[in-house]
Amino acid sequence: MIAVVMGGNSAEREVSLESGSAVYEALITSGVSAFKFDWNGDNLDELWKKEISKVFIILHGRGGEDGQIQHELEKRNIPYTGSDSSSSRLCMDKSKSKDALRNLDILLSDSIVAKKGEFLTPNFAGPWAVKPVQEGSSIGISKVTSADNLQDALENAWKYDDALIEKWIVGSEYTVGILNNAALPVIHIKPQENFYDYNAKYISNATEFICPADIAPELSNILQQQAIEIFNKLGCKDWGRVDFIVDQNNKPYFLEINTVPGMTSHSLVPTAAKSNGLTFENLVLEILNAS
């Protein structure tokens, strides 16, 4: 019996519930015995009482992408989908994951971490992106164009975690899904808003997703190759998604990596998989069988 573990108590709970329901329906449609389990942060004892052959982890954010649930499953020798606890923990921390890539030929924007309550002014020019170090879905992110607005942005990020202040790279956003350690077609993300925030990801229908991306094959190949290199360097496995910003000189900068990407109607890995000829049901089975 496959346990589809969803929910959690992170800021991405609602997205996780939507993703989890979609994964569950795909498994049932494919004839796989499965059940949904809504983890609320302290009810794992209920899960251990059930008969489980494997866990399909579809928890986004804290608890699901930071290695916590993976560690609990590893202690009990229960197989699960996706990256292990150590790589999940590393990837969830935007600052530490960037540090781990510094010996690669990967462009990284200037950045600095401001601990909670530590008001810092970066020693690199703005504009800046200010975001929680360990949140996903662009939760708590602000674009700061003036030092006068930096404090408000930091306080917004500190609601969730320490803050990462990054040099804002002017350019276009692209993402590369990874499935069975191979790169899926590149997606060009074109939000109508200023940037690809939570609203643009999950609510707005105005955001355009162009797949395959409308870029030169050479650039597409570079993005796919770098995504695989990053994925492997950070110790990831089975599936994930790597996000980039390509600047006005066609230079790609690594943004972040997602070890449990969304699986909703607005999600990007299903979009890329569909472009590669995979139905949503087949994508779910590929992820399940890879682990």
Q: Which residues are catalytic?
A: 12, 137, 202, 241, 243, 256, 258, 262
Question: Which runs of consecutive H residues, i.e. helices, occur in the chain?
Answer: 13-29, 44-48, 68-75, 85-92, 94-100, 150-158, 198-202, 217-233, 268-275, 280-290
Q: What are the C-alpha distances in Å from 200 to residues 61, 194, 197, 271?
A: 18, 10, 5, 16
Q: b vs e for 65-80, b when ≥16 Cβ sit within 10 Å of the residue's Cβ?
A: bbbbbbebbeeeeeeb
The span from the CA of 77 to the CA of 97, in Å, is 27
Q: Give the tokens for residue 139.
A: 């939760």
Radius of gyration of the chain (CA): 18
Nearest to 23 by CA among 278, 236, 285: 285
Short-list 255, 267, 258, 1, CA closest to 141: 255
Question: Strands across the sheet with 2-7, in order?
Answer: 34-39, 2-7, 54-57
For residues 279 and 83, what is the distance between their CA atoms, to the nearest angstrom? 23
Token couple for 21? 């329901």
Check if the beta carbon of residue 165 is closer than 8 Å to that of residue 149. no
Question: Which helix or strand (DSSP H or E) is residue 164 part of?
Answer: strand 163-167
